[in-house]
Amino acid sequence: MTARAAAEPMLGANSCDTHTLRSTVDSVLDWRYGASNSRLSSLTLKAHEQAWRANDLDWSLDVDLAHRVRGIAHPLAPSAYYNALLRPPMALDDDEAVALATNMIAFMLSQFLHGEQGALLASARVVQAVPTVDAKLYASTQVADEARHVEVYSRYLEEKLEITYPVHPSLRHLIDDILGAGPWDLTVLGMQIIVEGLALAAFNLMHSIAPAEPLIEQITERVARDESRHVAFGVLLLGRAYTSQMTPQEVHLREDFAIHAIHSLHERLLMTPVLERLGYSGDAWHAWVRDNAFMRALRQLLLAKIAPALRSIGLLTPKVSDALKAHQPGLDDLERATDAAWLPREFLGSLRPLLALRRSARRAVHDPSKRG
């Protein structure tokens, strides 16, 4: 799974700005042209029907993320809210709390953007290497989808948030491995099942925890609809091939690839670069980024959502399940954790101090005699 990567400048680009990966891709032509799978054809039809353009979104909307982040805390002060939710090693003042929350959101969105570029190249690779024309036709719709995703996220980050983060090293290495992998099914496994499975879970989660900002909601809703089709395509392509047509050695290779991908995504979910940018260093902060209950619960929630797609392709083997659980000890019952309504125990526990604070703040708003 080693990809040969070299930093090599392209025409007109600085070598620091681009990343060149050398890999060999089989180019497979299929002269039969017939549809091999009716579900694949209807997925392609759906992709055409659901196609949208970046200009369909209302780019005139004013996005003041810091204002939104303060709004979530209301009626609490941002410092009270985020200190109770995130329990940082030192109490943050209002400005520090707002800076931490906005940077966490910008970091997540930046990694979505970089993942989208990886998906753009991976889907182009699938067009080339997948052995049937109907799968190539679907994959070509995905190339257009991913290009649009890159366009909207880069525009949102640059024009609206004005805070961007470079690609996290773990995500970049994972993209290298996905694009450098030999067999095309590893590209599909890494990108469509694992990276996009996690992205889809993150989009859904953003609906419930991120500030209700209309432009990002428009983006998230459209991108999530596309990504759920992409995950369905991955599941359809790989199907039960992993259990019925492969030798044990071939299955082991896929298991190891999946485990490596899960590990890389877990690392990038840690958000360490946010701390570095804000100047929070030292052992206490490094321990916090791994151990704080709210963020751990979010990681559990996201990683759990990869499991159903892995199960559908027959790859939620004991070895892969153990890897998921090892990263997140709270995922002891993976079967239950894949239920849409499941929340980690830790998640509710991490919210308890915050909920108590908000209740008393609300009471104080309604009954001024209770203001302390």
Binding site for Fe ion (CB under 5 A): 116, 119, 146, 149, 196, 227, 230
86 or 202: whose CB is closer to Fe ion? 202
Contact 138, 192 (CB under 8 A): no
SS3 372: coil
Q: b/e for 316-338, b at 16 or more Cβ within 10 A? A: bbeebbebbbebbebbeebeebb
Min separation Cβ 129 and Fe ion, Å: 17
Using CA atoms, how far residue 203 sits from 87, 234, 282, 296, 320, in Å, is 24, 18, 31, 17, 24
Min separation Cβ 371 and Fe ion, Å: 48
102 or 117: whose CB is closer to Fe ion? 117
Min separation Cβ 143 and Fe ion, Å: 10
Give the Cβ contact number of residue 371 at 10 Å: 10
Min separation Cβ 144 and Fe ion, Å: 11
Min separation Cβ 227 and Fe ion, Å: 5
176 or 227: whose CB is closer to Fe ion? 227
What is the C-alpha to C-alpha distance for residues 197 and 2, in angstroms, rounded to an integer? Answer: 23
Using CA atoms, how far residue 45 sits from 134, 170, 221, 252, in Å, is 11, 35, 20, 35
118 or 330: whose CB is closer to Fe ion? 118
- Matching residue, tokens 């007109």: 12
Beta bridge partners of 6: 20
147 or 246: whose CB is closer to Fe ion? 147
225 or 277: whose CB is closer to Fe ion? 225
308 or 353: whose CB is closer to Fe ion? 308
What is the C-alpha to C-alpha distance for residues 122 and 273, in angstroms, rounded to an integer? Answer: 26
Min separation Cβ 135 and Fe ion, Å: 15
227 or 255: whose CB is closer to Fe ion? 227
Contact 198, 261 (CB under 8 A): no
Structure tokens at 80: 């009270």
What backbone torsions phi and psi does residue 4 show, to the nearest 5 degrees?
-85, 110
Q: Compute the half-sphere exposure of residue 361: CA atoms within 13 Å on the CB side of its CA.
A: 14
